[in-house]
Structure 1
Amino acid sequence: MTANERGDVVVVTTTHESEEQARALASAVVRERLAACAQVYPVRSVYWWDGEVQDAGEWRIDLKTRAELVDRLGAFVSGRHSYETPELIAVPVSGGSADYLAWVAEETAAGADGAE
């Protein structure tokens, strides 16, 4: 394990109400090279909304990307999301496999910076 010394790799989390929508969004993000990898899995969410506690099954999407892409990724997700206020949380990666962190950086560099 190595530290992510530059702090450039993050995991961005969002959720969706259906597996189909979550998988479609995950594929679109990866296709646009805004994330190197997306993991989609079921979760149970309990939260305040419209003045009361909600309890709902959702599909969580964890997106591995570079910190400098978080704003673009957030705009991309928000523009394609059905929720009024979609969850968008970026958590810095403090360590990990040097090869994996380099792979994330490499896969998100191709095309994501506006280069073709």
Structure 2
Amino acid sequence: MTTTDSEDKAERLAHGAIEGRIAACAQVSAPVTSVFRWENAVETSQEWQVLFKTAAARYEALEAYLRDAHDYETPEIIATPITRGGADYLAWVAKETS
């Protein structure tokens, strides 16, 4: 998952990951309000979340893509392991990212 400061940027990140076959699916969520500390100040901003669905074997490629394509100095890049899921869906993710 990552966040960015515009819907357009979120969609570009999503499309790039799918086109590069480093994610099988990317979901762009409506804006969220983020409150965080940055450079000794508390900031509030509107961001769009992008949730990428990929295989564990493709994580490094997805992270490298996000670091290269993202315009934040320190982009949020968070991975959550899948412990269970529909076998057919997980097979689809593996197929689309291979």
Q: TM-score normalized by structure 1?
A: 0.80
Is 1:60 the equivalent of 2:52?
Answer: no
By how many angstroms is 1:36 displaced? 0.1
Residue 89 of structure 1: SS of its match in structure 2? Answer: coil
Is 1:21 the equivalent of 2:9?
Answer: yes
The residue aligned with 2:23 is: 35
By how many angstroms is 1:64 displaced? 0.3
Kindly indicate which of the two structures has a greater share of residues assigned to helix: 2
By how many angstroms is 1:79 displaced? 0.6
Select 1:83's aligned residue among 60, 72, 75. 72
The residue aligned with 1:9 is: none
Q: Output the CA distance in 1 between the equivalents of 2:62 and 2:91.
A: 19
- Structure 1 stretches (4+) deviating beyond 4 angstroms? none
The residue aligned with 1:98 is: 87
Equivalenced residue count is 97
- Report the AA paired with residue 95 of structure 2: E
Q: Output the CA distance in 1 between the equivalents of 2:92 and 2:77.
A: 23
Residue 53 of structure 1: SS of its match in structure 2? Answer: strand
Q: Output the CA distance in 2 between the equivalents of 1:46 and 1:71.
A: 28
Unaligned runs of 5+ in 1: 1-12, 110-116
The residue aligned with 1:7 is: none
**Larger relative contact order (CA 8 Å, sep ≥ 6):** 1
Unaligned runs of 5+ in 2: none
Kindly indicate which of the two structures has a greater share of residues assigned to strand: 1
- Report the AA paired with residue 79 of structure 2: A
Q: Output the CA distance in 2 between the equivalents of 1:67 and 1:48.
A: 31
